[in-house]
A and B are shown apart, each in its own frame.
Chain A
Amino acid sequence: MSQARAVEAETSGLDALSLQQRMELQYEIEQFLYAEAAMLDGREYRAWLDLWTEDCSYWMPIRRTVTLSDIDREFTKRGDMSFYDDDKQALAMRVAKMESGSSWSEDPPSRTRHIVDNVRITAVNGAETTVDVAFILYRSRLNTEESMWVGRRVDTLRRVDAALKLCGREIYLDQTLIRATNMSTLF
């Protein structure tokens, strides 16, 4: 099954929740994701980094234009090449780069807007909840550079000491050839 399509099957834990519980969880997660987006747009990278668990994974595979007969090879797989294949340490390096005072690709800084929508809880497993979201990331740089990345994200959130943390993010872009000078922004 193509990873482009949402996986609907893993809803066991979700079925056990009442409608009220589901609505509360949905609200809590949406507010978390909006606050996270605001941190990135507000360039609060250090605070953003703290949202991630120590064992987190942040991954963006390469997408290819393929025929329907090859659709199972549309995305690269874990362990193959990707655009992001980060653990907490790698995310911390990205943040350290931005804070270094010599990160020329972000100085002058980009103006970004992270739009998150179509949030659907797809699985609840103990302390972890997986959501499927659609995103638009708009980036304006210098006076003329514009990039827009649209795609699907699969986020896994974990409740740690009553607070939500991010422990997984898979980013499936709708672009194949990246039409941008770089991806110096965080998704």
Chain B
Amino acid sequence: MDLVQEPGSAPSKSEIRSCFDPAEGTLDRRVFADREIYDLEMRNIFARAWNFMCHESQIPNPGDYFINYIGEDQVIVVRDRQGEVQVLLNTCRHRGNALCRAEQGNAKSFVCSYHGWNYDLNGDLIGVPGMTAYYRKDFDKSQWGLAKAAQVDHLHGFYFATLDPDTPPLPDYLGEVGRIGLGLLVANGPVEVVDGVQKNVIDCNWKIAVDNLFDWYHVQYSHASAGNSGILDIAAILHPNNQMVMFGEYGHAISGPVIPPERQAEIDAMSDEERFAVTVAKMTEDPNRLPQPLRMSFAKDMLGPTGVRCMGHPNIFPNLWVSTGGTQLSLRLPRGPFETEIWWFTVLPKAMPEEMKKKQVAFITHLFGPAGLLEQDDGENWSQSTRASRGVKARTYRHHMAMGLGQDEVLTDATGTSRVETTISEHAQRWLYTNWMNWLTADSWAELKANHPSFPKGRV
């Protein structure tokens, strides 16, 4: 296989197609190391996908804004005077300066610090110093408003934006698995974000961090010391033989523990009051353990009979992880092939009693974020995996990604969503890279829609 390419040239479709071999379950390490592949990811994945922006509770009032990214395009997510959420590119149309240098806050308008161009909250250019004296009125402000995301939409108050006008509507993009993923966040009622987004930067490729969220294989070893610290009973959360992988549209997937059908039947037979009592009793018994509340009866209507059993980790393609039993969101934001920013949002039910909220927030802080007892041990694995993919010789050895390959039978539920119920496996990672190749080799949304893989059937 000839992988030599001219520096700077975009990899050909056949080269991309050779990166992952679904039949063999191996992955070419160049996907973590090549600038050209990274640049293609920016254009073909991040500029085309629906990217998570923020939750509505983070920007409740007109003028409230939160800075986020679509690929490497920095955007201002702002509530305008009409109460609509706008997603504006954070770059002045004059010399390109970043308009907003803060991470979040409240603004009456966005004034560029370079020459003072002033933009309204909806992106309209409303003020240009020297309009009469220097431009001599020969300037049409209406043509020079801020660039905007092509589409903005939300589900359950979680806002997404895309730069591509041809991206399918958000519900279609999410499909059943994406909707279950976001549904887990509101499975205990309406939510709000707890103030404070933890952010740190890891010198790893973003895909290593995405692969890891599906990976229940590393938990026992990487996080052994967290188990020893007493914060978590690793064996009790792992359920290595009760795992489910759901295959979603465009590369979304959910991977991790599943409530066995017979246990779900027991839960279904309980009233909501009885379920709540069980949750409270568990938390009282051991306040330092992850409370995994029994979902209420309405959750089954929202998530469906399979979704309601899901205790695993959804990823909304490309980079949004629904984590920590549906109480956290984590973004993996690419910053070049060798750097990724990790952002953690914490999302709790509005109706959760204050005392329980306090415990939950403290517990989450002890687990995740750069100082978290679990997460401390992840970053270095990812950075060293990325680093070791740069060697001329090392990168000729493909990753083994074949755990469970050819061993499991696909089940289909009434909604048509495919899944496997099995042991710990790498089905979700294989689904991720199968779809990743489709995104990178499609020239447009029309092509991606036509070519994206149908859900797996039969043996996988």
Contacts and interface: CB of A to CB of B under 8 A. Distances in A.
A80 B196 contact: yes
B267 to A, nearest CB: 30
Contact of B225 (A97, A179, A181): A97
Interface string A35-70: 000000000000000000000000011101111011
Interface string B103-120: 111110000000000000
A97 B373 contact: yes
A177 B224 CA distance: 28
A85 B105 contact: no
A182 B380 contact: yes
Contacts of B105: 66-67, 69-70, 73
Given A84-B365, A85-B361, A180 B228 contact: no
A60 B181 CA distance: 31
B365 A66 contact: no
A85 B201 CA distance: 21
Interface string A89-104: 1100110111011111
A64 B105 CA distance: 10
Interface residues of B, number: 48
Interface in A65-119: 65-67, 69-70, 73, 76-77, 79-86, 89-90, 93-94, 96-98, 100-105
A11 interface: no
Nearest to B199: A177
A176 interface: yes
Interface string A157-187: 0000000000000000000111111111000
A77 B358 CA distance: 12
B102 A66 contact: yes
Contacts of A179: 200-201
A182 B200 contact: yes
Contacts of A83: 198, 365, 369-371
B377 A180 contact: no
Given A64-B103, A70-B105, A93 B376 contact: no
Contact of B230 (A84, A93, A105): A93
A178 to B, nearest CB: 4
A66 B198 contact: no
A180 B370 contact: yes
A81 B365 contact: yes
Contacts of B101: 65, 67
Given A81-B197, A81-B365, A183 B371 contact: yes
Contact of B104 (A66, A94, A96): A66
B380 A64 contact: no
Contact of A80 (B194, B201, B341): B194
Residue of A70, A93, A94 with highest tally of chain B CB at under 10 A? A93
A-side interface size class = 35 or more
A103 B196 contact: no
Nearest to A178: B200
B366 interface: yes
A66 B104 CA distance: 6
B201 A177 contact: yes
A148 B95 CA distance: 34
Contacts of A80: 194-196, 361
Nearest to A90: B366
B203 interface: yes
B428 to A, nearest CB: 24
A64 B224 contact: no
A186 B101 CA distance: 31
Contacts of A104: 222, 225, 377, 380-381
B229 interface: yes
B444 interface: no
A183 B365 CA distance: 12
B391 to A, nearest CB: 15
B383 interface: yes
Contacts of B107: 67
A171 to B, nearest CB: 10
B288 A102 contact: no
Q: List the 3 closest pairs (A to B, CB-CB), nearest first.
A: A81-B196, A181-B379, A100-B228
Interface of A: 60-62, 64-67, 69-70, 73, 76-77, 79-86, 89-90, 93-94, 96-98, 100-105, 141, 176-184
27 contacts: A64-B102, A64-B103, A64-B104, A69-B105, A70-B104, A70-B106, A77-B195, A79-B357, A79-B361, A81-B195, A81-B198, A83-B365, A85-B362, A85-B366, A86-B366, A96-B228, A97-B229, A97-B373, A98-B225, A105-B377, A141-B380, A177-B199, A177-B201, A179-B201, A181-B380, A182-B377, A183-B376
Interface of B: 101-107, 194-203, 222, 224-226, 228-231, 288, 341, 344, 346, 357-358, 361-362, 364-366, 369-371, 373, 375-381, 383
Given A85-B362, A93-B229, A181-B383, 4 more contacts: A83-B198, A90-B362, A103-B225, A182-B380
